């Protein structure tokens, strides 16, 4: 059963989408539990490594260094890769990226490509674009394939189908693979997909991957997977095409040690992913293509407030820890990226479509704390709110409230009066008045019981006598 | 090609204009490109990895094998120590009594399917067990390095249903810092992979399943090189 379909170009409504996800308590409960388990595993892994905070600092610094010298490292990488016999392409945006892929495939008569997970190819809408040219790009990662068959975006950058229950998958596979609809044993389902995918791997004329890291020093790329699907795509077909965001660069091979020690621990807890794949040169008789993609990254790099987000290594820790993400599901964000990192990535692609996202957060700050490369995600969410407001995109309910608040806070006397009146009102008003349809954040929640007195009254009664100033 | 050059110049130009200021220094040394270097507690300063505080991690003079074994179990793999080529063969047959197609790139455990450079990558799809030798292991993650040279045909490592990886215990290093700064510093093979346990997925309700796409099981045999 698919709870969501792709959103169009109209602004996404995360509250409404989240409400539909929560409607089914089984999905909400499982999602919250599974995603939180990843966060717990991350904590155990981090606690076992005394160097963790040093690693974070060094990782952050490596990324900041690379980004502040990005032109040089891109040239280094291109030169090293070219010397290795790799074809290096450059794409300004998704359309250019897709056109390059289509051209490579059409020239070589490729009709079926088998791909491993790539958020960048997702971002470019590559698979849809290839379909229009009669080329099938089949997802090989189990979760991605589940999402592809469901006609949904990945709901999580590491575990794309984490919002689906085993019974959803059983129903889906029964329809597409002819499996027993009543058998929802994950072992049976995974085995069925393995057997379905194998012949396609052997038949595919091209393999596609993204890149977790691109090393300027050696011209190699590194792809991290747990299933080994990137390796099959990289070692079986005679042609490989890898899409690389320009922010994936790191200077040296030894920098990989720092990054890789953090990536899987932050994502799921284990010290490394099962497969850490290095592609440096085409195999004898094969072709290897790297496509370096900008797609608004250079624009972001030039933003004093938002360039830090380019440090992201796509571990998903911020999603796992986020109380809003865990309860609303990743599809509620309606963009390529979801969770806290999605809130700060998606609006940069389309501020109108994603203007609600920065408000889909409690600003608790946990995302910034778990980020392995020290991105100030919570601060960036706050700054995006400012950005959205300055573009006149503030949601109506917030707009009305904030106007009044500004007036009241600007006048201390008025604030004192309002505070007392407000508290009395809170006690008298039924939940239904505050938790109304204009304020979707209160749906499914009970309002806290108001305090007996205002803080000011409490201070007067309890502390004033101690001779302190108010 | 012209369009391509334009995109390249446009991107590099936009990046150059956008470079955040002030520039941030690379930890340790900026002019490092091309110079391998073994490193430190996080790879950049000091002497040895400061890992003794990790529960059960061996002290510098101790063997890394027991910790590697423990980590491998956590990653879903298994390991055995063998003292002779005959013992290695016996262990392999004992572990996979039903296997019919054996492909081997090591002299100790000969297979019945030859592996020659230039073989079609897809021709190993029917291999039940592949036996290969790794020249570098990382204790911290129980990872073994396998590249185009070790595998002869890289697809062998992911198409075989089961994988036996032999490794000399002396080739195991504590962390990835020693691996990238040491054994892998001059690496030039087209393809290389760290495998930490077998293929795995948690994509259906977080249930860990081995053998999602690649090897269903991964066995490490600790065996000295040139084992007789």
Residue A55 exposure: Cα atoms within 13 Å on the Cβ side: 25
Kindly report, residue by residue over B48-77, the tens digit of the pLDDT: 444 445 667 777 778 999 999 999 999 999
Contact assignment for A278 to B140 by CB distance below 8 Å: no
Instruction: Provide the domain limits for residue A404.
Output: 397-466
pLDDT over 50 (residue B44): no
Mutate to test the interface with B, among A39, A92, A229, A231 (most CBs of B within 10 A): A231
Q: What is the mean pLDDT of residues A420-446?
A: 56
- What band does B39 get if pLDDT is binned at 50, 70 and 90? very low
Kindly report, residue by residue over A101-125, the tens digit of the pLDDT: 999 999 999 999 999 999 999 999 9
Is position A376 within any domain? no
Is position A246 within any domain? yes
**Closest approach of A84 to chain B, Cα-based (Å):** 9
**Closest approach of B80 to chain A, Cα-based (Å):** 20
Is position A355 within any domain? no
Is A397 touching B (CB cutoff 8 A)? no
Whether residue A429 sits in one domain with residue A288:
no
CA pair distance A448, B46, nearest whole angstrom: 52
Question: Is there a contact between A253 and B38 (Cβ–Cβ < 8 Å)?
Answer: no
Kindly report, residue by residue over A90-105, the tens digit of the pLDDT: 999 999 999 999 999 9
Plot region of A159 (φ>0 → left; ψ -120 to 50 → alpha; else → beta):
beta
Is A244 touching B (CB cutoff 8 A)? no
Whether residue A230 sits in one domain with residue A84:
yes
Query: Of A299, A330, A360, which marks where a domain is finished?
Result: A299
- Residue B180: which of A55, A226, A253 has the nearest Cβ? A253
- What band does A441 get if pLDDT is binned at 50, 70 and 90? low
Kindly report, residue by residue over B79-96, the tens digit of the pLDDT: 999 999 999 999 999 999
Give the pLDDT confidence score for residue B47 in this predicted structure: 37
- What band does A6 get if pLDDT is binned at 50, 70 and 90? very low
Question: Is there a contact between A165 and A27 (Cβ–Cβ < 8 Å)?
Answer: yes
Question: The whole model's pTM is what?
Answer: 0.88
Give the pLDDT confidence score for residue B166 in this predicted structure: 98
**Closest approach of A93 to chain B, Cα-based (Å):** 9
Contact assignment for B12 to A71 by CB distance below 8 Å: yes
CA pair distance B123, A44, nearest whole angstrom: 42
Query: Of A259, A284, A299, which marks where a domain is finished?
Result: A299
Contact assignment for B190 to A268 by CB distance below 8 Å: no
Give the pLDDT confidence score for residue B42 in this predicted structure: 44
**Closest approach of B65 to chain A, Cα-based (Å):** 17
Mutate to test the interface with A, among B205, B207, B208 (most CBs of A within 10 A): B205
Give the pLDDT confidence score for residue B33 in this predicted structure: 30
Whether residue A292 sits in one domain with residue A147:
yes
Whether residue A295 sits in one domain with residue A402:
no
Express as a percent the part of chain A with pLDDT over 90: 73
Kindly report, residue by residue over B106-128, the tens digit of the pLDDT: 999 999 999 999 999 999 999 99
Is position A181 within any domain? yes
Q: What is the mean pLDDT of residues A262-291?
A: 96
Kindly report, residue by residue over B120-171, the tens digit of the pLDDT: 999 999 999 999 999 999 999 999 999 999 999 999 999 999 999 999 999 9
- Domain B63-222 -> CATH class: alpha beta
Question: Rg of the Cα trace of chain B?
Answer: 21
Count Cβ atoms within 10 A of the Cβ of residue A45 and give its class: 0-12 exposed, 13-18 middle, 19 or more buried. buried
Give the pLDDT confidence score for residue A446 in this predicted structure: 60
Q: What is the mean pLDDT of residues A276-295?
A: 97
ipTM of the complex: 0.91
- Residue A34: which of B184, B196, B206 has the nearest Cβ? B206
Is A456 touching B (CB cutoff 8 A)? no
CA pair distance A140, A198, nearest whole angstrom: 9
Contact assignment for A161 to B50 by CB distance below 8 Å: no
Mean pLDDT of chain A: 89
**Closest approach of A444 to chain B, Cα-based (Å):** 25
pLDDT over 80 (residue A280): yes
CA pair distance A360, A59, nearest whole angstrom: 28
Question: Is there a contact between B156 and B165 (Cβ–Cβ < 8 Å)?
Answer: no
- Would you mind telling me the total number of residues written for chain A in this entry? 470
CATH number, domain with residue A52:
3.40.50.10420
Give phi and psi for A115, each to the nearest 5: -120, 150
Is position A1 within any domain? no
- What band does A442 get if pLDDT is binned at 50, 70 and 90? low
- Residue A49: which of B17, B54, B177 has the nearest Cβ? B54
Is the peptide bond between B22 and the residue preceding it cis, with omega within 30 degrees of 0?
yes
Give the pLDDT confidence score for residue A430 in this predicted structure: 52
CA pair distance A154, A159, nearest whole angstrom: 8
Query: Of A274, A299, A324, which marks where a domain is finished?
Result: A299
Contact assignment for B19 to A280 by CB distance below 8 Å: no
Report how many domains make up chain A.
2
**Closest approach of B214 to chain A, Cα-based (Å):** 5
**Greater pLDDT, A157 or A399:** A157
Is A251 touching B (CB cutoff 8 A)? yes
Is position A162 within any domain? yes
List the single residue in B with minimal CA-CA distance to A299: B18
Give the pLDDT confidence score for residue A142 in this predicted structure: 97
Whether residue A411 sits in one domain with residue A283:
no
Whether residue A75 sits in one domain with residue A198:
yes
CA pair distance A1, B72, nearest whole angstrom: 37
Residue A86 exposure: Cα atoms within 13 Å on the Cβ side: 28
Lowest mean pLDDT among A33-37, A201-205, A452-456, B215-219: A452-456
pLDDT over 80 (residue A158): yes
pLDDT over 70 (residue A207): yes
* Domain boundaries along the sequence of chain B: 63-222
């Amino acid at each position: 059963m698919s709870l969501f379909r792709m959103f169009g170009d109209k602004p996404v409504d995360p509250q409404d989408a989240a409400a539909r996800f929560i409607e089914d308590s089984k999905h909400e409960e499982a999602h919250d539990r599974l995603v939180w388990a990843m966060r717990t595993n991350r904590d155990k892994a981090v606690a076992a490594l005394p160097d963790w905070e040093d690693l974070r600092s060094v990782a952050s610094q490596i990324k900041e260094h690379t980004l502040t010298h990005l032109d040089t490292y891109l040239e280094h990488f291109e030169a090293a890769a070219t010397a290795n016999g790799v074809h290096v392409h450059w794409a300004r945006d998704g359309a250019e990226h897709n056109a390059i892929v289509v051209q490579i495939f059409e020239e070589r008569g490729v009709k079926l490509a088998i791909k491993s997970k790539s958020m960048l190819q997702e971002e470019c809408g590559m698979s849809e674009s290839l379909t229009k040219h009669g080329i099938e790009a089949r997802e090989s990662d189990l979760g991605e394939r589940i999402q592809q068959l469901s006609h949904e975006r990945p709901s999580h950058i590491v575990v794309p189908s984490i919002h689906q229950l085993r019974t959803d998958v059983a129903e889906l596979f029964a329809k597409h693979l002819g499996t027993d609809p009543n058998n929802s044993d994950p072992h049976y389902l995974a085995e069925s997909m393995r057997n379905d995918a194998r012949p396609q791997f052997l038949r595919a004329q091209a393999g596609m991957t993204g890149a977790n890291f691109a090393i300027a020093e050696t011209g190699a790329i590194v792809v991290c997977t747990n299933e080994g699907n990137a390796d099959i795509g990289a070692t079986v077909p005679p042609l490989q095409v890898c899409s690389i965001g320009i922010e994936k660069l790191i200077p040296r091979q030894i920098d990989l040690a720092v990054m890789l020690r953090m990536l899987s621990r932050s994502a799921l807890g284990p010290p490394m992913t099962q497969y850490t794949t290095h592609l440096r040169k085409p195999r004898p008789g094969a072709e290897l293509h790297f496509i370096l993609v900008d797609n608004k990254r250079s624009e972001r790099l030039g933003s004093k407030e938002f360039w830090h987000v380019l440090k992201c290594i796509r571990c998903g820790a911020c999603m796992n820890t986020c109380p809003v993400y865990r309860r609303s599901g990743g599809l509620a964000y309606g963009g390529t990226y979801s969770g806290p990192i999605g809130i700060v990535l998606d609006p940069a692609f389309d501020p109108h479509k994603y203007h609600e996202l920065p408000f889909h957060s409690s600003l608790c700050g946990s995302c910034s704390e778990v980020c392995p490369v020290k991105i100030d995600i919570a601060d960036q969410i706050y700054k995006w709110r400012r950005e959205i407001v300055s573009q006149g995109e503030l949601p109506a309910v917030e707009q009305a409230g904030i106007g009044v608040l500004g007036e009241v806070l600007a006048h201390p006397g008025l604030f004192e009066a309002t505070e007392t009146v407000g508290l009395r009102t809170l006690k008298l008003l039924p939940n239904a008045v505050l938790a109304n349809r204009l304020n979707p954040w209160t749906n499914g929640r009970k309002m806290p019981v108001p305090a007996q007195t205002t803080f000011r009254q409490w201070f007067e009664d309890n502390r004033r006598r101690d001779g302190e100033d108010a | 090609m012209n369009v391509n050059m334009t995109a390249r110049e446009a991107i590099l130009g936009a990046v150059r204009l956008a470079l955040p200021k002030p520039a941030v220094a690379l930890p340790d040394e900026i002019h490092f490109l091309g110079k391998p270097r073994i490193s430190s507690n996080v790879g950049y300063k000091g002497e040895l990895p400061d890992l003794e505080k990790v529960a059960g991690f061996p002290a510098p003079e101790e063997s890394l094998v027991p910790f590697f074994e423990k980590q491998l179990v956590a990653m879903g793999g298994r390991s055995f120590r063998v003292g002779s080529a005959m013992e290695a063969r016996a262990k392999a047959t004992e572990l996979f009594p039903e296997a019919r197609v054996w492909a081997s790139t090591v002299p100790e455990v000969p297979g019945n399917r030859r592996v020659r450079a230039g073989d079609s990558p897809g021709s190993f799809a029917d291999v039940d067990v592949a036996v290969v030798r790794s020249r570098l292991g990382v204790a911290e993650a129980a990872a073994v390095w396998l590249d185009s040279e070790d595998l002869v045909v890289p697809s062998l490592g992911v198409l075989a249903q089961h994988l036996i990886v032999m490794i000399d215990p002396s080739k195991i290093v504590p962390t990835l810092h020693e691996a990238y700064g040491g054994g892998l510093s001059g690496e030039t093979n087209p393809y290389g992979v760290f495998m930490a346990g077998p293929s795995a997925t948690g994509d259906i309700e977080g249930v860990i399943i081995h053998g999602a796409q690649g090897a269903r099981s991964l066995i490490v045999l600790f065996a000295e090189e040139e084992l007789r």
